[in-house]
Structure 1
Amino acid sequence: MSARPRLRSTLLRSLLLAAALLTLAACSTLNAVNAYLGNDVAFTAPQLQQSLNRNFPKRYEKLGGLVAVTLMNPRLTIPDDGDRLRLDFDIALAALGSRPSGRFTLTSALRYDAASQGLHLRDPRIDYVDVPQLGGVMTGASRELLNAWLSDYANQEPVYRFDNSLLDKLGSRRIGSTQIEHGRVVVHLDR
Structure 2
Amino acid sequence: MIRRAPRAPHLLRSPHAPRATRRAFLLSACAAAGAAMSLGACATGTFPFIPDHYTFSQQQVQDAVLRKFPYHRSVQQLFEVALTNPVVTLLPDRNRVAVHVDAHLESPLMQQPVNGAFTLSSELAYDATSRSVVLRSPSVDSVDMAGNAAAYAQQVNAVAALAATQLLTNYPVYTFKPDQLQFAGVNYEPDTITILTNGIRVQIVEK
Say if 2:120 and 2:164, in contact at 8 Å, map to a contact too. Answer: no
> What root-mean-square deviation, in Å, do the aligned CA atoms of Structure 1 and Structure 2 show?
3.0
Q: Aligned AA for 1:169?
A: Q
- TM-score (norm: length of structure 2): 0.66
**Alpha-carbon offset, residue 151 of structure 1:** 2.3
| 1:56 aligned onto 2:69 | yes
Question: What is the rounded CA distance, in whole Å, between the counterparts of 2:143 and 2:170 in structure 1?
Answer: 23
Bigger drift between 51-60 and 92-101 goes to 92-101
Q: Select 2:82's aligned residue among 70, 77, 95.
A: 70
Structure 1 unaligned runs (5+)? 1-22
- The DSSP-based 3-state class of the residue aligned with 1:47 is helix
User: What is the match of residue 145 of structure 1?
Assistant: 159
Q: For 1:168, which of 159, 179, 190 is the aligned residue?
A: 179
How many residue pairs are counted as aligned between the two chains? 166
Q: Secondary structure at the match of 1:39?
A: strand
Structure 2 CA distance for partners of 1:29 and 1:126, relative to 1, 3 Å: same
- What are the equivalent positions in structure 2 for 1:17-96 lying under 5 Å apart? 26=28, 29-30=31-32, 32=34, 35=41, 38-63=51-76, 65-79=77-91, 81-96=93-108
Whichever of the two has the greater Rg, that structure is: 2
Summarize deviations over 1:7-34 as a string: whole Å, max 9, x none.
Answer: xxxxxxxxxxxxxxxx699366236257
Q: What residue is the counterpart of 2:47 in the other structure?
A: none
Q: Unmatched 5+ residue regions in structure 2?
A: 1-23, 43-49
CA–CA distance in 1 between the matches of 2:204 and 2:190? 5
TM-score normalised over the length of structure 1: 0.70
Structure with higher RCO (Cα < 8 A, 6+ apart): 1
How much has 1:67 moved relative to structure 2?
A: 1.9
How many angstroms does 1:150 deviate by? 1.5
- 1:177 offset after TM fit, Å? 2.6
Q: Once structures 1 and 2 are overlaid, which stretch shifts more, 81-90 or 34-43? A: 34-43
Shift of 1:136: 5.6
Q: CA deviation at 1:126?
A: 1.8
SS in 1 for 2:81: strand
Q: Distance in 2 between matches of 1:162 and 1:135?
A: 39
Contact 1:106 1:128 in 2 (8 A): yes
Aligned position for 1:189: 204
